[in-house]
Amino acid sequence: AQTVTQSQPEMSVQEAETVTLSCTYDTSENNYYLFWYKQPPSRQMILVIRQEAYKQQNATENRFSVNFQKAAKSFSLKISDSQLGDTAMYFCAFEGAQKLVFGQGTRLTINP
Amino acid sequence: SAVISQKPSRDICQRGTSLTIQCQVDSQVTMMFWYRQQPGQSLTLIATANQGSEATYESGFVIDKFPISRPNLTFSTLTVSNMSPEDSSIYLCSVMTARTEAFFGQGTRLTVV
C-alpha cells in the first residue's frame, strides 16, 4: 500500500520569505502522479501543483515549484515570495490506481 | 477543470438520524469519491462511486453506514446513517478528471449532537 509522510506538522515564516514543505512517499509503482493541495480555513481543497512521475522536469506554477526526487521518493513544495493568502493546511498526495492517498498535512502560517 | 457543488455546506444533526449529502459536477466524470476529514486530520477515502455499479468501500467503511448513490455521470449522494457524535467530520466529494487531476467540493461540516 502507498503511504505519504509529511514530517512537518506546522511551519511559520515571514511574508515574502521562501518556505519549503517536505513530503516523502512509498510505492512500488513506476508511473504515478503527485500533488500538493492547499486547504484554507474555508475548507475548500485547492490543487496547487501536479507532477507526473515519468517527467524528470520539476513542475512549476508561478510562485510554487516542486523538487521531485524519484529515486529518493521525495516531493517537496517550495513557495517563493510567500503571501498572507498562502496561510493554509498543505497536503501532499499520491495518486495510484486512480485513488489519492494524502499525507498528514502541514499547517503553514505566513506572518506579516 | 471541474466545478463541484456540494450541499449542505454544514448541518447539525441529532444522534440516530441520517443526513444525505449531495454532490453535483458541471461535467461528466467517470469516477467520484467521498472522503471524510476528522477535525485537524487528513482526508480518508470512504468510497469510490462509479456510475452504473455499486460503490467500492475502503477498509473500515460499510455500505449500511454510508450508502452511496450514483444515478448519472454528474451526480452522487452520500448518506451518513444512524449518526453518532463520532461521525462529526467534514465530508468531501471529489472527482478525478481524464488528466488525473482531482477536484473537490466545498465540503460538508457535520456536527452530531
pLDDT tens digit sequence for A6-29: 999 999 999 999 999 999 999 988
pLDDT by residue (tens digit) across B30-48?
Answer: 889 999 999 889 999 999 9
pLDDT over 80 at B99, yes or no: no
To test the contact with chain B by mutation, choose from A6, A29, A94, A99 the residue with the greatest count of B C-beta atoms within 10 A, namely A99
Given CB atoms, is B61 within the 8 Å cutoff of chain A? Answer: no
For residue B98, the model assigns a pLDDT of 78
Question: CB-CB: which of B33, B42, B100 is closest to A103?
Answer: B42
Q: Determine which of A59-68, B6-15, B90-99 has the lowest per-residue pLDDT on average.
A: B90-99
Nearest-CB residue to B101 (from A47, A101, A105): A47
Length in residues, chain A? 112
What does the pLDDT read at residue A97?
78
How high is the pLDDT of residue B39?
87
Q: Are A100 and B45 within 8 A, CB to CB? A: yes
Using DSSP's 3-state secondary structure scheme, residue A84 falls into: helix
Kindly tell me if the per-residue pLDDT of B16 is higher than 80: yes
